[in-house]
Structure 1
Amino acid sequence: MKKFLYIFIMLFVVGWAQAQQRVVYTINDGWKFTKGSPFEAQLNNCDDSSWETVNIPHTWNDKDADDETPGFYRGPAWYRKQLFVDKSQEGRQAVIYFEGANQEVQLYLNGQFVGEHKGGYTRFCFDITSKLRYGQENLFAICVNNTYNPNIPPLSADFTFFGGIYRDVYLQFMNPVHIATNDYASSGVYIRTPEVNSSSASVEITTLLTNNTLRSAEVIVESLICDADGKEVKRTQADIKLVSGETKADISKKIKIDSPRLWDIDDPYRYMVYTRIFDKKKGALLDEVVNPLGLRWFEFDSEKGFFLNGKWRKLIGTARHQDYFQKGNALRDELHVQDVLMLKEMGGNFLRVSHYPQDPVIMEMCDKLGIVTSVEIPVVNAVTETEEFLTNSVEMAKEMVRQDFNRPSVMIWGYMNEIFLRRPYTEGKQLEDYYHFTEKVARTLEATIRKEDPSRYTMMAYHNAPRFYEAAHLTEIPMIQGWNLYQGWYEPDINEFQRLLDRAHKMYKGKVLIVTEYGPGVDPRVHSYQPERFDFSQEYGLVYHKHYLDEMMKRPFVAGSSLWNLNDFYSESRVDAVPHVNNKGILGLDREVKDTYLFYKTALIRRPILAIGNREWKARGGVVNTEQNECVQSVPVFSNAEEVELFVNNKSLGKKKTESGYALFDVPFVNGENQLEALAVAGDTKLHDMLRIHFQLVSSQLKDKTLPFTEINVMLGSPRYFEDRVANVAWIPEQEYKPGSWGFVGGTPYRRKTGFGTMLGSDIDICGTDMNPVFQTQRVGIESFKADVPDGEYSVSLYWAELDSDKKKEALIYNLGADSEQTLVGNRSFGISINGVTVVDDFNVARDYGYARAVIKKFVVTVKNGKGLSIDFHKKEGETILNAIRIYRNY
C-alpha cells in the first residue's frame, strides 16, 4: 500500500512541477496592420477594421523591392492584435519576446506603454506581467519605425532596410522565480569552456536567477550535462537564496568531463546543458532552460591560419543576407534552414553572418552542421559623431554577444564593415576629428566585446583603402583583419588581388587575415563566350572565383574567406542586370544554383560529385557553325573525378580531364530537343547526370530550306546570350552582316567610360521591362540591320532605351569608382525605313519616352521578290541607335 501511495504522490508532484515550467508559444497570426501613424492607435477605441490582416514574419517593403519606384517606404507602421490569455497562466511571470523587428519598436498593452527597443537585428523582450489581463482579451499595439535615424546603425548599406516585425514573436509564461529573461534577451545561462583538450574539458556555467515574488526564495540550482543521446554526463547543484525583486548570478565550479567528444567541422557533436531551478522546501521544479554545449578549442595564427582542436583548417565559406525572392526579409524558419543546408552541401565550413545578427535558427543550424561562424553588428559605411550613436552600438554589441554566447559554432565577433566607405569629410580638421571619433567607437566596441567574451576573436572588415584605416589606427585594433577585395570587378586588374594579400601580410605583422568579401555579379540568365568584368555572365563568374580561390589556397596566412554572397539579395540603390538586386550570390534570390556554386561544391566536397553546368539555361539559341547544321557551344561539366565523359543526343564527345573542378566540352547542339548525359567514375562510385535543353538554331544562310527560318532575337552591341525565361525565348549576340545571312551594318558597341577604363553597356535601370540586359547594350551609329529572309509576312520588333541621360546622377558608392563617367545625351533624332519605305521620320527616344525606358516598336512587313529585310536608320541629329531586334515569321 505504501508503494502505491508513494507512486501517487510522485506522479502528483511531477505533474504539478511540469505545470510550473515555462510555456512558450508564438503569436504570429492574424495581426491588423497599417502604415503611418493613425490617431491613438494604441487604444481600444481605435478603429482598425479597414486595416490589412497580416501574419508575422512580415515586412511592409516586400513589394518595394521589385517595383520601379525609386526608394522604399521608411516610416512608422502599426500592428494590433486582440489576444485572449488563458486564466491558467495568472500569477506567473509574462514576457513578450521578439526575434527581430526593424528598427525602432514601441510596445503598448491594453493602452499602456510597456517599453521600446532600438536596433533592427537583435532580439529583445518586455515584461508584461503587470499589464496583462487573464481570462479575457488583451490589446497588443506595436509601433515599428524604420525611418532613418542617425543615432542607430546601420546608417547606410548595400542592402535594403526592410521594415516590420520580420521574425517570430513569442509569449513566455514562467514561475515568478525563474532563470532571468532580462539580460539582453539572452537565455540567462552562460556556458564557458576555459580548458578543453582531447583528454578532458572543464565547463563553467553562470546562471542568472530572478525572484519576482514579494518574499525571499530559497532555491536549488541544478546544471545537468547530457550527451547527444540524453544520457547524463555530469550534474551539479547549489543552494541559492534570493531576496525579493533580485536578479542574481550563480556561478558553478569547474565541471570536469573526461574523454570529451569534441565539436568539430566533420563531427559537430553537441552536449546539452539543462539548467533547472527547484523550490528548496517543496522540491518543485520552478523553471528550466536548455542550451547547447560544444567542446572545442581553436586558434588563429597570423602565419599559419586557423586551427580547430589542434588541426589546421582552411575556412572557406560565404557571407549571407537574410532576404528571399518577393518576400524581403520576412522568412519562415524553413527558408533560413535551407540556406545553411545549401552552404553545407556546397562544402562550406565558414559563415560570416553579415552585416547583422540573424534569425536564431541560423546559428542553431551552424551548430548542428559544423560551420564555423562570425557574427557582427551593423556598424556599416559610416558613424555618427554622437554619444548616442556610440551607446546604441555598444548596446547592440552586448545583445549580440549575450544572445549567441553559448553557440559552439561562433568563434568570431565582428563590429565594423567598410566604415570609411562613406566618409563625410575628405580633408582638414573635420576629417581628423571624424577619424578620432571613429577610432573611439572602434576601441570602445573592441573593449566591450573582449570584456563580454574573452574566449573568442574580434574582427573588423575594411575595403581596399588601407590608408584611411591606417590614419584612424583601425588596422591596429581588432584581432582579425577582414579585407573586402573586388579586384577584377570594381577594379580592372584581377591579379592585384594576390598582390594586396601579400601587402597586407607584410604590412600588418601579427594580424590574422581573412578575406571577408569578394565576388562578381552574376545574372544566371546571361552568358558570354567572351566574358569580361561587369558583363554579369555565368562564365565570368567562373573565371573570377577560380582565380580568387586558387590564390587564397596558395597562402597559408589567409586563415579563411567568406565570398560575397551565399545568395543574391535586395539592394534598393542598385540597378545592374536585375534592378534593386545585388547579383553577387552563388545562389539566386530564389536559391537557383549558379555555376559558381557548383564550382565550389566540386572544389570543397570530398564525396564524388558530377553535375552538368548551365543547368537552368534550358532555352538556348545560336547560329549554325558546322557543316552538319549544328551550333557548337561550350558547356562546363563539374566533377571532382579525374575525368568525365559527355554525351549529346547519345553520341559521346569523348573524355576530358577536369581542371579546378570542371571540364569544358564543345557541344554540337541541333535544332529542338537536345539531351546531355555526363558519366564519371570516382573510386568505386559511378556518377551520372542528365540534362535536357531546347535549342533554337538559326541558320547562317536564312534561305536554307533544310532549316526553315522561324525567328531571330539579337542583342546589339553585345557578345552576350540572354535567356528570357518567362517566354522561353533565346537572345543571341550580334554579328556583322554578310550576304545571304543577317546582321548589322555600321556603328560601334556602346561602352561606358568609368574610372577604370570602359565596360560593356550601361549599368542603369531600364524601366518598363524585366529584361534589363536586352536593353542595356546598343549599337551606336548603326546604318542598317539586314536579314536575307525568305519571302513572307514578318513581325519586326525594334528595341530601344536611351542610355545617356540629360541629368546628372549620383555615383553609387559601392561601385568603388566603376560607375560611368556620365555622358549627357544631346538631341538624338533619326528616321527609319524598312525595305525602302519610311516607317518613322523623326524618332527621338529621349523626347518621346524619356531616359532609361524600354521602347519596343513592332512593324508588320511583307517580304517579296527575294529581297529580304533591310531596316535602315537615317541620321538627322546625333547618332542613331538600336538596342535589340526580333524578327518573327508570321506566314
Structure 2
Amino acid sequence: MREILNINKDWEFKKQDGNDHVEAVHVPHTWNAVDGTDGGNDYWRGTAVYTKTFAKPALAEDEQLWLEINGANSTSKVVFNGQPLAEHKGGYSTYRVDLTPALAENNTLEIIVDNAPNSEVYPQQADFTFYGGLYRDVNLIRVNKAHFALGYYGGCGVALTPEVLADGKGQVKVEAYTENAKNGDVVSVQIQNVEGEMVAQGEGVIEDNHASFVIAMENIHLWDGVEDPYLYTANVQLAQDGRAIDAQSIRIGFRTFEIDPEKGFILNGRPYQLIGTARHQDWEGIGNALTRENHEIDMALLKEMGARTIRGAHYQHDQAWYDLADENGLIMWAEIPYISTHMANEAANENTQEQMREMIIQNYNHPSIFVWGLSNEITIGGESEDLLENHRKLNDLAHTLDPTRKTVMAHVSMLPTTSPLVTLPDATSYNQYFGWYVGKIEDNDKWFDDFHAQYPNVAIGISEFGADANPQYHAEKPGRGDYTEDYQALYHEHMLKMVTDRPWIWAMHVWNGFDFAADARDEGGVPGRNQKGLVTFDRKTKKDSYYIYQAYLSKTPFVHLTKKRYIDREQPVTEVKVYTNEPEATLYVDGQNMGTQKAVDHICRWNVEISKEHAIKVVGSDETINDTMTIRKVDEKNEDYIVKGGSVHNWFDDGVEKDGYLSIMDSIGDVMAVPEAMEVLRPVLEGLQNMLGKRDDEGEIPAMDMNTMMMAFPVETALRMSGALTKEEIIELNKTLNKIKK
C-alpha cells in the first residue's frame, strides 16, 4: 500500500547569481519573502538549486518510488543522481516524477527552480509578486508498481462525479485510471457518511488501465454551502489477485447549481448570491511559502466574515486550501494564471492549456469548486484573433475535461461589452473600480444596470472591486484616493448595498480578502503592497470594511464601532458609526445614554459633540454584545493620519468638491467637455501624455489623444500619476475649477 514520506526538511539552497553562498533551508521556501514585498520592482528573479541527499528507502521488488512536487515557481527541472528526469512549466500545480529507474543506495536530488521572465510560461505580467521557490510540500511516494495513476497531470487517478437524482436519490460515477495494472484487477469504492458508516459501495474491473462504474445511493445529504458543507468519504482501493495493492480516501459532496442571468446563483434549487473575496496566497514575512496553519487562519477569517465564496487569484492554490473550502462550504472560483498579457506564440498557448488540464484533473473531486476561470484581464494589451482562438480552445477543453462545472472570465473594465469574450464562457464577470481608479462609486450602479438591460441573457458578476486603505490613515470627510480606512469603508458600504439590491449579479468578489505583495507598487504609504485587502498583510488587523461584510453576511450577533483608530478628531461634532447585524444599537458617551438607533443597511449613526477625551460604548440587544473605543478632541489635524506623498484629497480642509461646479475629482473627460476648463487642465494633460509617451508625428502632444480609460480617470488620479503639479498648484487648480460650472 502507498506511503507518503514528507521530505520538507534539510535542503541546501543556492542561487545561480555568481555567488558561492549555500544556505540550509526547509521547504516550503521562497527566495523573495523580503525583496518581493518591499517595493522597487527589483526583487531577484533567476535560477536557484535545491539539493537534498537521502538513503534509499526500503522497497519491495514490486514497488516504486515517486517524487511529488506541489509547487515550484515558475519552471523547474528534476535532476536525480546526475540524470535529468523531468521539466515542468508552471508554478502553481503538482507534478510527479518516477525516481525508481535512477534510484541508488545513496541519492542526490536536485530541483532547479527558475522564476525569471520568459516568453512561454504564464504569468509574465501582473500586479502581484512572482515569488520564486520550492514553496509547497515535497514528498516521496512509495507505491506498488501497479497503482492509481500518479503521472497523469498530477492528478490522483480517480475522478468521482456525485449526481443528485430525484426523491433524495443520488449516484456516484467512478472513473479510475491506473498505471501498470493488469486487466482483471479490481477497483472498489466504499462510501462513508460523516459518522463513518458505510452507506454505499461498488466495484469495477480494470481494462487497459481504466475502470468505470456507477454507485447508487439513497437518502443523500446535500453539500449546502456554509450552512451545511456535508462531505462523504470515498475509500477507493485497487486489488490484484485478491490482494489490496493501492488505496486512497477522497471526500465528495452532492450539490446542484445554476448561474441564471435573472435569478443569479442558484445552489440546490434556491437563490444563493455569492458574496466573498478574492485571495492571494502570500503573507508578510513569509511570502507564498505558507504552512497549513497560515491557510487555516485565512479560512477562519473569511468564515468569520461570513463569506460565501472565494476567488482563487490568479492561479491554482494549494490542495490544503481547497480542502478547507470543502470543509467550510465556501464556493470556489479556480483559475489559471493566464493574465494581463497574451503572449502570441504556440508554446505560450499550449502552456495555458497545460495549466488548465493540470488544474481540472488535480481538483476535479473538490465539491467547493464550481467554476473554472479561463483568464483575468487578458485584453489589457488588446484583442487579437490568436487570443480569441486560444480562449475558445480553453473553454472547450474545460468542458471536455469537466462537463459538470461552468467556465468564467474576469474582464478588464475597458473591455467593450460587445466583445465576443463576454459571451464565450458560461458566465462572465468584470473587474470594475469605479470610485477608486476612475469615476464615482455610484457609477458602478449604472454600469451594471446598463449591462443587465442590454444583455438580459448574460449572467454578470463583479470579479474585482476595491479601494486601497492603510488603517493608519483617517479623515473626518474621507474621499477617493486618500488611502484612509474610512473611505474604504464607505466604498464597501455602497458596493454591498448595490449588489444585494441586484440578485441577478451572480457573484461579487472583493479585491482583496488580504493585502498582498506587488513589488512594483509604491503608494498608500507602504511600498511593495496592494492595500485593498479587508485584512492586513500580516493578518493582524481587520479593517473597518471587513465588518460591514460581517454585518451583512454573518449570523452571530455583533456590533462594531468604526474609526477606532481615528482617535484625534479636530471637528467639534463627529460621527460615530456602528456596523451590526442586530436590528438596533444603543450608544453611550462617557456613560451617558445617547439614544438607540435602528440599523439602516446594517449601519447605525450618531452625531456626537466632543470637547475632550471621551469613552464611547455601543451595545446591541444585550450587554454582552458591545464594543468600545476612546476618542479625543484636538485643535489641529493629526498629521499621522495623512498618507505621505500619496493623498490629494486630505490637502483640502473644506472639501474638494463644490456642488454644481467642477473639481479635480471630476473625470478628465468631463472637465475637457467645458471649453473654459480645457485650458486650465492643459498642464495636467501634458504631464500625463509625457508619462505615457504619446506624441503626434511632429513630436507635439495631441490634447485629445487620450484613450478611453484615461478619459474616465478623475483629474486627481492623473495628477498623482503624472506628478505634473506641486501640492500648492493642485490646490490652486481646484480653486479655479470650483469657479467653473459643470
Mark yes or no: TM-score above 0.5. yes
Aligned equivalent of 2:253: 294
Q: After TM superposition, list the pairs within 5 Å mapping 1:262-341 onto structure 2.
A: 262-265=222-225, 266-280=227-241, 283-341=242-300
Q: Distance in 1 between matches of 2:518 and 2:39?
A: 13
Give 1:193's aligned residue. Answer: 162
Q: Pick from 30, 33, 36 the counterpart of residue 65 of structure 1.
A: 36
Is contact 1:637-1:662 (8 Å) kept? yes
Q: Does 1:203 align with 2:172?
A: yes
Higher relative contact order at CA 8 Å, sep ≥6: structure 1 or structure 2?
A: 2
What does residue range 542-691 of structure 1 map to in structure 2 within 5 Å?
Answer: 542-577=489-524, 578-591=526-539, 592-615=541-564, 617=565, 620-623=567-570, 632-667=573-608, 675-681=615-621, 687-691=624-628
CA deviation string 1:464-512 (max 9, x = no partner): 2232x635x2123111011111111112132221221122223334221
Q: Normalized against structure 1, the TM-score is what?
A: 0.72
Q: Summarize the Cα distance change of 1:66–1:185 in structure 2 as closer, same or farther, 3 Å threshold.
A: closer
Counterpart in the other structure of 1:417: 376
Q: Does residue 1:139 correspond to 2:108, yes or no?
A: yes
Matched, 1:175 2:144: yes
Q: How far, CA to CA, are the matches of 2:103 and 2:692 in structure 1?
A: 53
Amino acid corresponding to residue 616 of structure 2 in structure 1: L
Q: 1:520 to 1:757 in 2, by over 3 A?
A: farther
1:621 and 1:696 in contact (8 A); partners too? yes
The alignment status of 1:501 with 2:470, answered yes or no, reads: no
Aligned partner of residue 14 in structure 2, secondary structure: strand
Equivalent position of 1:368 in the other structure: 327
Relative distance call for 1:175 and 1:498 in structure 2 (3 A) is: same
Distance in 2 between the 1:66 and 1:557 partners? 38
Q: CA deviation at 1:880?
A: 13
CA RMSD in angstroms comes to: 3.1
Match of 1:35 in 2: 15
Give the match for residue 482 of structure 2.
Answer: 535
Corresponding residue pairs, total:
684
Separation of aligned partners in 2, 1:411 and 1:686 = 41
Give yes or no for contact 1:160–1:572 (8 Å, CA) kept in 2: yes
CA distance in 1, matches of 2:605, 2:651: 21
The superposition leaves residues 546-594 of structure 1 with CA deviations (integer Å, 9 ceiling, x where unpaired) of 2222222222321121111111111122222022211111111122201
- Say if 1:383 and 1:721 are closer, same or farther in 2 by CA, change over 3 A: closer
Task: Name stretches of at least 5 consecutive residues in structure 2 with no aligned partner.
Answer: 645-649, 655-662, 672-686, 695-706, 733-742
Q: Distance in 2 between matches of 1:312 and 1:68?
A: 43
SS in 2 for 1:307: strand
Q: Whole-Å Cα distance in 2 between the matches of residues 52 and 23 of structure 1?
A: 30
- Give the C-alpha shift of residue 297 in structure 1: 1.1
Is residue 594–residue 614 contact of structure 1 (8 Å, CA) maintained in 2? Answer: no
How far off its partner does 1:349 sit? 0.8
The ranges of structure 1 where at least 4 consecutive aligned residues each deviate by more than 6 angstroms after the TM superposition are 732-736, 750-754, 813-816, 878-881
Instruction: Pick the structure with more strand per residue.
Output: 1
How far apart are 1:218 and its partner, in Å?
A: 4.8
TM, length-normalised to structure 2: 0.86
Query: For residue 862 of structure 1, what is the aligned residue in structure 2?
Result: none
Q: Which amino acid aligns with 2:490?
A: V
Distance in 1 (alpha carbons) for counterparts of 2:330 and 2:492: 21
Deviation of the 1:754 alpha carbon:
7.5
The Cα offsets for residues 248-271 of structure 1, whole Å up to 9 and x where unpaired, read as: 11111x211111011101111011
CA distance in 1, matches of 2:480, 2:730: 27
1:165-196 deviation line (CA, Å, top 9, x unaligned): 11111111111111111111111100113443
2:569 counterpart letter in structure 1: G
> For the residues of structure 1 that align with 2:558 and 2:61, how far apart are their CA atoms?
58
Contact 2:262 2:456 in 1 (8 A): no
> Are residues 352 and 193 of structure 1, via their aligned partners in 2, closer, same or farther at CA, if it must alter by over 3 Å?
same
Shift of 1:654: 2.3
Q: CA separation in 1, counterparts of 2:483 and 2:532? A: 9
| Percent sequence identity over aligned pairs | 29
Alignment-derived partner of residue 398 in structure 2 = 449
Partner of 2:387: 438
* Matched AA of 1:28: N
Secondary structure of the residue that 1:573 maps to in structure 2? strand
Provide closer, same or farther for how the CA distance between residues 218 and 418 of structure 1 changes in structure 2, counting only shifts above 3 A. same
- The one-letter code sitting in structure 1 at the alignment partner of 2:529 is V
Check whether the contact 2:66–2:140 (CA below 8 A) recurs between aligned residues.
yes
On the 8 A contact 1:197/1:297 being kept in 2, the answer is: no
Contact 2:517 2:528 in 1 (8 A): yes
How far apart, in 1, do the equivalents of 2:730 and 2:475 lie?
27
CA spacing shift, 1:653–1:223, aligned 2, 3 Å:
same
Whichever of the two has the greater Rg, that structure is: 1
1: CA distance, partners of 2:559 / 2:632: 27
Distance 1:546 1:823 in 2: 30
Asked if the contact 1:457–1:480 (Cα under 8 Å) also holds between the matched residues in 2, the reply is: yes
| Deviation by residue 1:814-855 (Cα, 9 ceiling, x = unmatched) | 9984653566679x9xxxxxxxxxxxxxxxxxxxxxxx9xxx
CA contact (8 A) 1:95 1:126 kept: yes
Match of 1:886 in 2: none
In structure 1, what residue type is equivalent to 2:452? H
Output the CA distance in 1 between the equivalents of 2:668 and 2:488: 22
- Read off the aligned partner of 1:270 and give its amino acid letter: L
